[in-house]
Structure 1
Amino acid sequence: METDCTRDDARVKSAARPAPLPAGTRLLHIGPHKTGTTAIQGALFDARDRLPEHGVEFPGNTRHPMEAVLAAVARPAMMGDAVPTEQHWARLVQQVKAAGRRTAVISSEFFADAEDDDTIARIVEQLGGDRVHVLVTLRPLARIMPSQWQQYVQNGLRMGYEDWLKHMLRKAPYEQPNPSFWRRHRHDRLVERWVRAVGPERVTVVVVDDRDRDRLMRTFEALLGLPENLLQPVPDTANRSLTLAETEMLRNLNKEFRGNELPDELYSKLVRNGAIMHMKNTCSPTPQDVKISTPRWALEDAARIAGEMIDGITHMGVRVLGDPALLSALPKSAGERPAEPRIAPEVAAHALYGALAAAAEVPVRHSTPAKARTVHQTSSVELVKVLGHRCLKKLRRR
């Protein structure tokens, strides 16, 4: 469905396949987070060897050029990860230029973190100037909130969901504990920032319909001039959302981690890329697992804000593909009280094993001289600190 928002009168809707963008376009997919970005990136990366025969390139050597884009928007890395450098971004820019007259598609949700006009203008200019066409994918704010909260928990957040919602929705200036949330998800302001850089005629907004997940793939194919069904979903268990029990287990671990002042690098190695990653890859949620449920008051607040965002976007003159009314719709199970979350023993075991396996990858040296005090005479807090600092030293040596 296409909505022509270049006019203020009745919206024009059509189920026609959107026309391809001009050859040589730099299609810049800026997310934001939790709007189908991982699915699109996985499908494009999987099909990258077949794209050139259709005049399309997917620059980069990985599914998601996260380090490059983090450097471009001057955003810090994930907790404990290596700091992105300008070299990452320069390498991606050169790969985009190498596409020549072919269409190039660059996709990263972290482009949505660019918060000032100068940064956005520089990104656009370096990627091709007037050849850049910006694509924004949007989902209902009510569906984004639980997904984004558990993602923040995976990066060290210790605040519970309902408290987090109160801070984001009802405690001005709505910036704590995660200032990035509204920078990404105040979607009208996000679109407006990029419109100022490229103009409304070079911005397309795609409304993601969760009832028809295949539609997003088909929309990308149409805009890129690709044959239908060339892009196919790629299973990615590592990117699945956590259940409520898994998130709460991790949130409480975050409290212990911060309480004992362990180094961030250890969190990245053992928790996010060890315990969480292994748990995601080996444990699939069942119908009995409790999902993260948003209270009714928060859903209503989100719907009201979404309505304001829709009004703003539809008056900017950008092209909107899909039905904007979906963005403010309340879920059918709005505000249901969740059951008490319980973590299954096997899930906890897989998480623990993931941390141990990550630690085992670090070479162990047995050259430390014995100390007068035994392990049994040392407090658990001191032991955790010593273990943390030793693992960190080994990581750095490696």
Structure 2
Amino acid sequence: METDCSTPDTTAPVTPGRLPAGTRLLHIGPHKTGTTSIQGALFAAKETMAVHGVDFPAHSRHPMEAALAVCGRPGMMGDVRPVERHWRRLADAVHATGERTSLVSSEFFADAPDAATVARVVDGLGRDRVHVLVTLRPLAKIMPSQWQQYVQNGLRMGYEDWLDHMLRRAPYEKPNPSFWRRHRHDRLVERWAGVVGAANLTVVVVDDRDRGGLMRTFESLLGLPGGLLEEVPDTANRSLTPAETEMLRMLNREFRGNGLPDEIYSKLVRGGAVPRMKNVCRPASEEDRIRTPEWALEAAAAVGAEMAGRIGALGVRVLGDPALLSARPSPSPSPSPSPSPSPSSDGDAPAVPRIDPEAAAQALYGVLAAVAADPGPTAGIRPVHRTPSRELVRVLGHRVLKRLRRA
């Protein structure tokens, strides 16, 4: 195994050896490991990279539909399910690069559930030329970001309740079975290395202290000039604050409880309210973020240490310090309060930070703007005063029975 465990130093960066010319580099994430940042930089520099013999054949920054289609996974809540043509379009674009080096990046490739699916991906891109790249960060930093991403896709469970399910309740698959498929990193690496071979897989342990480290690693692997890849500002990728996340979680409860179509959520909430709130409103302080309880940090560190050991035994190339996979965030001197669970099944939080009125206003405006841009998804929704009384009685009766069953 080729491992570089030196402490990152921006004056003397680690420079991994360049991959052979003609390699088809497949970056599979997983989620929350710097994927959005690197994809934005690669897409912005695609024309310049081509001058240096490296093609970025995807038609967008992130070919999510293609990855979901080939892995047999559904799209986001309310989105149209990706189909085979999405995958074929990407695969054809990769093959059209001929003998040149090319790069494809999507964290949704990490959702491939088994060796057969991995083989389909690799064969579709040209098995003899594919080199797989996996980027990793410590679980303690991934968990709050991944939870709030699930909330943005309709999750109603509070953070500590969710952590309890993911870390304490075997088989650790509810409510989000995709979490450990993506973030049991040793098994992820093993699954892909079993298909492409250990020599054709590189693991990069991301060190958040070195902000440009991931960009430099991609440049070195692809043989690009240093400094070519630059971070593209992306305010829409910022994390939600505890209050913003709690507002969205409560909205998810109301949405599900009232039986609205998923397409409405996709268009108005995830495509309207959330991006507007992220783009316009900035948290007052970096300390205003989701807090992970001590017991969960300890559990995540233990899992991270175990994963680092198993990855080290697989014979793949590891760039960076594997010990970082069990790292814990430094404690903050004045943490913000975070949602805590209650006895309810949804993990309600009785005491949470109040949302900034500006953020609430921008979220509402995002919904209105989405409706104005395309009123189609809301065309079938009638206000109460235009709904026949017989239908109202039926709907109310259904809700009463539903609540009685819960009781």
Q: TM-score, normalized by length of structure 2?
A: 0.87
Give the Å deviation of 1:334.
7.5
1:32 paired residue among 30, 33, 56? 30
Amino acid at match of 1:205: V
Give the Å deviation of 1:51.
1.0
Range with greater deviation from structure 2 (272-281 or 175-184): 272-281
Match of 2:366 in 1: 354
Match of 1:92 in 2: 90
Specify the SS of the correspondent of 2:199. helix
1:112 paired residue among 110, 113, 120? 110
Match of 2:325 in 1: 327
Aligned length: 372
After superposition, give the CA deviation of every residue in 1:304-362 in whole Å (9 maximum; x if it has no partner): 00011000000111111001111101111179863242211011000001011111223
Match of 2:158 in 1: 160
Amino acid at match of 1:356: L
After superposition, give the CA deviation of every residue in 1:56-112 in whole Å (9 maximum; x if it has no partner): 000111000001110010000000011101001000000000111110000000000
Matched, 1:68 2:66: yes
Specify the SS of the correspondent of 1:51. helix
Amino acid at match of 1:341: P
Give the Å deviation of 1:290.
2.4
Amino acid at match of 1:131: R
Spell out structure 1 runs of 4+ moving beyond 4 A. 11-16, 334-337, 373-378
Match of 1:77 in 2: 75
Q: Distance in 2 between matches of 1:13 and 1:353?
A: 48
Amino acid at match of 1:204: T
- Percent of pairs identical after alignment? 65
Specify the SS of the correspondent of 1:332. coil
Match of 1:240 in 2: 238
Question: Residue 156 and residue 223 in structure 1: after superposition, are their counterparts in 2 closer, same or farther (change >3 A)?
Answer: same
Question: Residue 336 and residue 32 in structure 1: after superposition, are their counterparts in 2 closer, same or farther (change >3 A)?
Answer: farther
Specify the SS of the correspondent of 1:27. strand
Is contact 1:293-1:335 (8 Å) kept?
Answer: no
Amino acid at match of 1:265: E
After superposition, give the CA deviation of every residue in 1:87-138 in whole Å (9 maximum; x if it has no partner): 0100000000011111000000000000111110111111011210000000
Amino acid at match of 1:301: A
Specify the SS of the correspondent of 1:50. helix
* Long gaps (5+) in structure 2: 8-12, 338-351, 396-407
Give the Å deviation of 1:55.
0.7
Q: Distance in 2 between matches of 1:337 and 1:169?
A: 23
Amino acid at match of 1:132: V
Matched, 1:127 2:139: no
Q: Distance in 1 between matches of 2:49 and 2:385?
A: 62
1:48 paired residue among 46, 49, 57? 46
Is contact 1:33-1:110 (8 Å) kept?
Answer: yes
Q: Distance in 1 between matches of 2:127 and 2:301?
A: 36
Range with greater deviation from structure 2 (285-294 or 46-55): 285-294
Q: TM-score, normalized by length of structure 1?
A: 0.88
2:139 paired residue among 141, 157, 160? 141
Is contact 1:56-1:105 (8 Å) kept?
Answer: yes
Pairing of 1:162-181 with structure 2 (within 5 A): 162-181=160-179
Amino acid at match of 1:157: L
Match of 2:299 in 1: 301
* Long gaps (5+) in structure 1: 6-10, 386-398
Q: Distance in 2 between matches of 1:356 and 1:36?
A: 31
Is contact 2:5-2:320 (8 Å) kept?
Answer: no
Pairing of 1:264-303 with structure 2 (within 5 A): 264-287=262-285, 290-303=288-301
Is contact 1:299-1:335 (8 Å) kept?
Answer: no
Q: Distance in 1 between matches of 2:301 and 2:332?
A: 11
Q: Distance in 2 between matches of 1:309 and 1:72?
A: 27
Is contact 2:58-2:90 (8 Å) kept?
Answer: yes
Q: Distance in 1 between matches of 2:247 and 2:288?
A: 13
Is contact 2:202-2:318 (8 Å) kept?
Answer: yes
Q: Distance in 2 between matches of 1:241 and 1:267?
A: 19
Q: Distance in 1 between matches of 2:201 and 2:333?
A: 34
Amino acid at match of 2:177: P
